Structure 1
Amino acid sequence: MNLDKRSFTKCIFAAISFPILSMRTFAQEVFKHRFPIHLIVPYPPGGAGDIIARLFSPSLGEALKQPIIIDNKSGGAQMIATDAAAKAKPDGYTLFFASTTHGINPGFKRPLPYDTIKDFAPITLVGSTPLIWVAHPSLKVKTIQELVAKANTMPIYYGSAGPGSGGHLAVELFKFMAGIDLIHTPYKGTGPALNDLLSGQIQLLCTSPIPVLPFVKSGKLQALAMTSPKRSAIAPDLPTIAESGYPDYQASLWYALMVQAKVPLAIQQVILEGATKALQQPETIKTFKEQGIDILNLSPSATDQFIRAEIDRWTKTIAYAKIQID
């Protein structure tokens, strides 16, 4: 049979496309007949990561046409949740809401029960948010400069979502740069740390603005500074630490949707399409903007490159600042 160039190209494309379309149809059929999907979140309820996951999951579930259950697994510097996600059945019905700590943990050179890169397939980098430093009013400081001066006269206790969390590393890096000491009190998530800050059990917290800004507005907490390079739209009157005398300082929290590495590529593609659709919904965009979350929605390959770069950056930072796990 003689084929012209155009006909030959169509035949080749059809031959290549058929198995891909079949795999995608298969994945869609799997999601059509099985439920629910579990989204493992390495935080207890009430923390920033948990709040963002709960903001994102309804639109994701709608896009995938599946109910999504938030599965909070806190503790162990997020290793408990990460290990559970790494060992999940590779059928796409377990998703993992990874965060900054996923890129930090390898830098401490301690044994991990999973491989940070090989055991996971990135779907998308959902978004990022700066951190905010807040203090209990009893500390009587209103700026970063006043905090540094106070730290030279008395012990100050700060909380974090756990050893190796983004908030922990952000404070430890600042301690190194400012030449001060702040005493770390680790928790199993931002929620418990925030509760103790509000009660005055600890005096300082560096975390996402999402759970703490309502308390700042009510006067129950004092905001000191943001960690972003530029002022945040969510708190435009609040200076950055870079503006407060430390121009090289910046930190942020990021959140990525991932699955177990052996999940079939066709199912990964369906999840990616669902996540992209969810993040493009006007209501999602509006809600995330109100919470100070920048939507990123990177491709799987770009997300993988980002996480590898984060591992390299934090590994060097941990060694440079001699940051220790409590």
Structure 2
Amino acid sequence: MSASAFPTSVDALLELLTSRGYLAERSLATVTYLALRMGRPLFLEGEAGVGKTEIAKVLSAALGRKLIRLQCYEGLDVASAVYEWSSAAQMIAIRLAEASGDTDRDQLASDIFAERFLIKRPLLQALEPDVAGPPVLLIDELDRADEAFEAYLLEILSDFQVTIPELGTVKAPAPPIVIITSNRTREIHDALKRRCLYHWVDYPSAERELAIVKSRVPNISAKLSQQVVRFVQALRSQDFYKSPGVAETIDWATALSELDARSLTPQVVGDTLGALLKYQDDIARMQGEALAKTLKEATSDV
């Protein structure tokens, strides 16, 4: 599908994202719009939980495209990310050929490397045509993968093709929509970044985060939602091992709503901190005087 099928302006894209519950900053909507129109991969960096992965999911749903996700990890290789041959199926084919008396080795070698024995992993799947249009390919947390795998991506991001020695080169008829995310646990090489449009996804402002909470947790009271956002914003100004992201804010607001909380109290916050902070050292720090001070800051005048 051509670029003309995409939203025709930044405002149109903002409206499309908002209709799916994703309240994006205009700068993020702008770079996303340009990535769609220019057919370039979009590289998103930022802290965990700020909505980098979510935008790929929302784009997939909003544009009616298949979402193909490659979750990166240390040791990720071609067999897990691109393709591998089904050795079990190939062995069965060999034994059946031998049992039927077929001893033509050249023909057998050709047969067992036919496409029906190919197991297609996410990167190869993303190059296949689809009636709905090229899919959204999410390469999630690239910084967790090894540099060798990062280098392998260059061919795919440059030409949107994969070379399979036994079959030849597989090239996408139209480039997929590529979203790459990184939590910046290590630097990504410049060669890969140059092939992408780049954006740093920051924590939202208090006003935007409040709008997000109201959108995602509609049953929460206005008073409690304001207190939740102010409390989370106050936490981010402190030195924690892992500050809460927007995902944790939504989780906490949902948990408080499920408990029918009407306002933040030391008891309620203490009982539910595990929805907001994910490390025991951080939870231990948010006790006693530290909790009382942050809670006062969050609930005064609300």
TM-score class, shorter: under 0.3
- In our comparison, the structure showing a higher alpha carbon Rg is 2
Question: TM-score normalized by structure 2?
Answer: 0.25
Question: TM-score normalized by structure 1?
Answer: 0.23
